[in-house]
Structure 1
């Protein structure tokens, strides 16, 4: 819808038609945020009324008030944009709310104002014409505070419900309360709710985050120490707040961060750069890893900040993370390939290296892994040291039939490709007895040990062994490592297929 300004003298000193069109195209709760943040900046309690009867929103505070009424219509006036601990930044504030309303009435310590924007379609000009007016009421002074009332006949019930939701999500400061009144379509009060400050689950005191400051009247972005309050919620319900006002919602991580200073948001103040989320999550992991449950430590919203930015995570936190997620026994920890983009600390713990050097270990993940961590082939060579494999060239008919069963029926069901099976005599010097099978990554072959088993028919145990070795083959040496999580997945797969096989065989075969 195009708007044209038909007023004389102007209302804001800008193209009113463009201003009105711009802000009426926004979500209503976004423009309501402007008078709400002004009220919060006064330090007084906040009063908000949402009226479904006359399609209006009223915001009131009892702060010092505004003596100079031009601040309500002179664009880019005010100085809050230079204070990192004040919510205003663009000098436009409540003017955006005014532009989105048909009628706005304001009363403060300097008097009263009424703004009106009436739109009518001009057939000759083929566009909507805005008849804008601004009236001053000097006698409508308040002793304290400011009240802002706005209404628009095009605001729907859904729009006003979004305003309700936005106001209810506010994170109130410790010494300020919120009073939310809801009026129905019959102009009768429906309910009044009071919201007070809720104690956070954690407070991060040493966070250096980018914000907006000013030097010689020039606004600039710089990092500044600030406090961040944190609440634990559910995955997908996370968010980032600026001084109690929601900036983003529906974040993947299960935390709500309330930052105690301006955040580097977009002009519409509803989006942040991913690097800002990263700094918040890194700070939380470093300071309060205890807020994460053990079963959360493998989730993407944790691992992406541990693995990609481990050089920014303290050695004690990395050690705690690894012990809680993987345990402390070396054989329970992952064995990485030289391309694994994950925590270099793991190999250090496997080798019982002193943890005071943890930062050095994790600083160059690729270099550390290339130098010290075994590749899949190296791991296999170490595991099979002292072992000899002699392939049986002429297996017995029953053994040949079993190999055909594995390759023709079992392997296709696992969607595994590029692996061969051989019957062999595997000898090794070990106190643990004979191994039943081994996988060689060099020639992508599973060798079944004829010293340990006859391999003459299918059975659940034999099939489980085959599937376990297929798991070794399926490990991607460019991305994954051999580790407990992966083996557990293989065992679950084995269990499902073995159970299905037992049902099909009807108990015909028993474990040898």
Structure 2
């Protein structure tokens, strides 16, 4: 057993074949992304990438090139102390690219490291700046196209030119930049990763045509996400082992910061995404952001659904009923602090119930008889009639009549449009048929419309079959020559 550093015996050995298989399985674009990461960290001003059928070539003009040969072949060896604004981590990227190749060359300042069937060896060269990495492996067309698609998402640092297969990468159009966003990040101290919270700048960009919005770490794409924009965090992001995804908790926190900071400026379409619902489910938004969401996403005069009967009454009074009961409970609870429920809206518009029963006496007798006769003939059910008076603050909330399905009772508001002394008034007949159609349901849906049309059709047929059917309900003044004038 060999001795490790510090005098301790080494416990592990690396299976080179296993290491090669593991990296060979990684997508080509993710491997090449590691080279861009290194070049940007080393302050390169120009980076060129060429993806060919049997060779991948990445060349940069960084001032110093590769600092130590071991950085190309000693796994997990890298810079021991780097700030959160340094892209590289764990000393793995370059080794992974080499391991995924059939053979490779790392041409850096003054020397070229060769990895081939004979092993690893070094030869001198005349390069004065930067590094040229040549990875020899066969790749398919689709593999290369997917790699180019990922790499062209890259947002190069200011003043850096990135060229992929002969085409320069242009940065996307900027949307916004948020300062001092407190987010978890990673720093390396004496070779040990430490997680800490740190204020960072977060840049937002409009995706280019055809692009899927992505999360970025210091200009390099990490993963697609469901926010409407490219989001570039200007410090290390806590990533999964393969560095191809951020932690879910981190992404939720980032989305919450963006929503809290930007809600008043966002459009209805931007606020309508699933990402906003997810933020509302996990975080409590401030009043300004919450008010912006309600004002832009929900319709004017929105009220929260309670149940069919109350919802329908709220609609009659001019409200727009929205059913958000499928939302997470915590999200719904937040919206309830700003959006009125349907029952509260109805009570506010109509005022507290102040129905007073009224007995209009003989002047309403013809109306009572007509309702009972129509109900028996058209619905086959005995229906009672009750009169009441309801005072409301808002005239638009006045009710002409109501149908109590449990008691099979037509309730008539004596302050409404029903003509007690003239039951055959067209508007009064319409109100009666309307309320009788509610026998099977409270809502004004397509089923209600069908029932109302059916009752109207039966009434017309009844007049054909029984010409004198309505005569007893007419007031004496309306009876002319033994006929009824409608």
TM-score (norm 2): 0.68
Match of 1:157 among 141, 156, 159: 141
Measured against aligned partners, the alpha-carbon deviations of 1:40-61 in whole angstroms (never above 9, x if no partner) come to 2222221100113xx2211111
Q: How is 1:39-58 mapped onto 2 (pairs within 5 angstroms)?
A: 39-44=39-44, 45-52=46-53, 55-58=54-57
User: Could you tell me how far apart the structure 2 residues matched to 1:204 and 1:468 are?
Assistant: 53
3-state DSSP of counterpart to 2:174? coil
**Where does residue 396 of structure 1 map in the other structure?**
372
Total equivalences in the alignment = 397
How far is 1:296 from its partner? 4.2
User: Could you tell me how far apart the structure 2 residues matched to 1:58 and 1:446 are?
Assistant: 84
Are the structure 2 counterparts of residues 256 and 245 from structure 1 closer, same or farther at C-alpha, using a change threshold of 3 Å?
same
Are the structure 2 counterparts of residues 445 and 281 from structure 1 closer, same or farther at C-alpha, using a change threshold of 3 Å?
farther
User: Aligned pair 1:173/2:148, yes or no?
Assistant: no
User: Aligned pair 1:212/2:174, yes or no?
Assistant: no
User: Aligned pair 1:83/2:69, yes or no?
Assistant: no
Whether the aligned pair in 2 keeps the contact of 1:67 and 1:110 (CA below 8 Å) is no
**Where does residue 385 of structure 1 map in the other structure?**
353
3-state DSSP of counterpart to 2:242? coil
How far is 1:113 from its partner? 1.4
Are the structure 2 counterparts of residues 211 and 429 from structure 1 closer, same or farther at C-alpha, using a change threshold of 3 Å?
same
TM-score (norm 1): 0.65
3-state DSSP of counterpart to 2:443? helix
Are the structure 2 counterparts of residues 429 and 197 from structure 1 closer, same or farther at C-alpha, using a change threshold of 3 Å?
same
Q: How is 1:126-145 mapped onto 2 (pairs within 5 angstroms)?
A: 133-137=119-123, 139-145=124-130
Match of 1:316 among 288, 302, 319: 288
More off after superposition, 72-81 vs 264-273: 72-81
Are the structure 2 counterparts of residues 309 and 62 from structure 1 closer, same or farther at C-alpha, using a change threshold of 3 Å?
same
CA radius of gyration, larger in:
2
Are the structure 2 counterparts of residues 33 and 333 from structure 1 closer, same or farther at C-alpha, using a change threshold of 3 Å?
same
How far is 1:71 from its partner? 0.9
Measured against aligned partners, the alpha-carbon deviations of 1:407-454 in whole angstroms (never above 9, x if no partner) come to xxxxxxxxxxxxxx99764531133474156699xx999986544554
Higher-RCO chain (CA-CA 8 Å, sequence separation at least 6): 1
3-state DSSP of counterpart to 1:158? helix
TM-align CA RMSD: 4.5
How far is 1:199 from its partner? 4.7
Whether the aligned pair in 1 keeps the contact of 2:80 and 2:192 (CA below 8 Å) is no
Q: Structure 1 unaligned runs (5+)?
A: 1-11, 118-131, 182-191, 338-362, 406-420, 472-492
Measured against aligned partners, the alpha-carbon deviations of 1:229-272 in whole angstroms (never above 9, x if no partner) come to 102349993221111111111x2221210010111110111122
User: Aligned pair 1:148/2:148, yes or no?
Assistant: no
How far is 1:336 from its partner? 7.8
User: Could you tell me how far apart the structure 2 residues matched to 1:114 and 1:394 are?
Assistant: 103
